[in-house]
Amino acid sequence: MSSTPYSVGDILDCLEELSEECDSISVERIVGAFGTRTFGPAIMVPALLEITPVGAIPGVPTFLAVTIALVAGQKMLGKRHLWLPKLIADRCVSAEKLRVATHKLRPLAGFLDRHFHRRLKAMTRAPFAQIAAGVIIVLCLAVPFLEVLPFASSAPMLAIAGFGLAVLVRDGVLMALALAASLSAIGLMGWDYADGGLSDTEEVDGVVKQETVDAVEDTAAQAGAAIEQGGAEAAEAVGEVAQDAADGAGDAVQDIAEDVAD
């Protein structure tokens, strides 16, 4: 087994070695391979996974957010060893899929390792690490509400990935940037909520103009009239499109299910 990881490339090396040992690897075994530097990878990897197309599958962003919040909570409490519930720890991934994933992530790992490294290491230790963990939990709480919009939850997940990378490579500059960006975003969301949300003004807080809302309503009305005029043929066509979409979603879920076995 490779040594404790200090870079993204080291993480991929660990995963590659694990994929050569057996046909499937449990989450618990993957976490154990990272040794004492578990918290950084355990925060960064799920967040990066959510940013991929997998994050578009309903329920996946929330599941990943819950997992990250569990890890961040233990980091905030100063735990030295990560504990995962059996439901998560016993999940397995195919060794072949893991090898393919590590190969595809090599270019990204090289980029991250070149640009992020040990700087201002004190910013990655207590109390800043505990503050960052608290901010991560707040960002995770926002994910279920953002999941209703396609890939909207990727914004907080990107910030969370930044925290995880900062902890992994001991980059205090990245930690400070992630903290500043996250606190600003949380402040804006809090201000907007206190101001009544996105629909409290005629122009919808300036984010979506009333003209846009009217245009969408007109388009919906026209579409409804067209379907009504078309009669049974239009309804049948819509049904076929809906069925194709459902089949596609089912195939995507099945592909993910094959990667992670119960």
> Chain-wide mean pLDDT for the chain?
74
Residue 162 CB contacts under 8 Å (≥ 6 apart), including other chains: 174, 177, 178, 181
Residue range(s) defining the domain that contains residue 54: 8-194
Q: Tell me: pLDDT of 174 over 80.
A: yes
List pLDDT tens digits, range 115-128: 888 888 888 888 88
Q: Is residue 1 part of a domain?
A: no
pLDDT for the residue 210: 55
Q: At 194, is the pLDDT very low, low, confident or very high (cuts 50, 70, 90)?
A: low
pLDDT for the residue 136: 93
Q: Is residue 65 part of a domain?
A: yes
pLDDT for the residue 225: 56
Q: Tell me: pLDDT of 222 over 80.
A: no
> Is the domain of 180 the same as that of 219?
no
Of the CA atoms within 13 Å of residue 153, those in its CB half-sphere come to 32
> Is the domain of 18 the same as that of 116?
yes
What is the number of domains present in the chain?
Answer: 2
pLDDT for the residue 262: 47
> Is the domain of 36 the same as that of 134?
yes
pLDDT for the residue 215: 56
Are 201 and 195 in contact by the 8 Å Cβ rule? The answer is no
Of 194, 215, 249, which residue is a domain's last? Answer: 194
> Is the domain of 39 the same as that of 161?
yes
> Is the domain of 132 the same as that of 221?
no
List pLDDT tens digits, range 71-119: 999 988 888 788 888 888 888 888 888 888 788 878 888 888 888 888 8
Q: Tell me: pLDDT of 145 over 50.
A: yes
Q: Tell me: pLDDT of 201 over 50.
A: no
Distance (Å, rounded) from C-alpha 67 to C-alpha 41? 12
Backbone angles phi and psi of 260, in degrees to 5 = -120, 110
> Is the domain of 188 the same as that of 211?
no
Longest CA–CA span in the chain (Å) reads 69
Residue with tokens 């201002």: 120
> Is the domain of 127 the same as that of 62?
yes
pLDDT for the residue 214: 62
pLDDT for the residue 217: 57
> Is the domain of 28 the same as that of 131?
yes
Of 164, 194, 224, which residue is a domain's last? Answer: 194
Q: Is residue 3 part of a domain?
A: no
Percentage of residues in the chain with pLDDT exceeding 70?
69
DSSP letters spanning 120-185: SGGGGSTTHHHHHHHHHHHHHHHHHHHTTSTTTTHHHHHHHHHHHHHHHHTBHHHHHHHHHHHHHH
> Is the domain of 187 the same as that of 239?
no
Of 194, 219, 239, which residue is a domain's last? Answer: 194
> Is the domain of 159 the same as that of 254?
no
> Is the domain of 77 the same as that of 15?
yes
pLDDT for the residue 142: 87
Q: pTM value?
A: 0.65
Percentage of residues in the chain with pLDDT exceeding 90?
7
> Is the domain of 159 the same as that of 51?
yes
Comparing 44-58, 74-88, 125-139, 209-223, the range with the smallest average pLDDT is 209-223
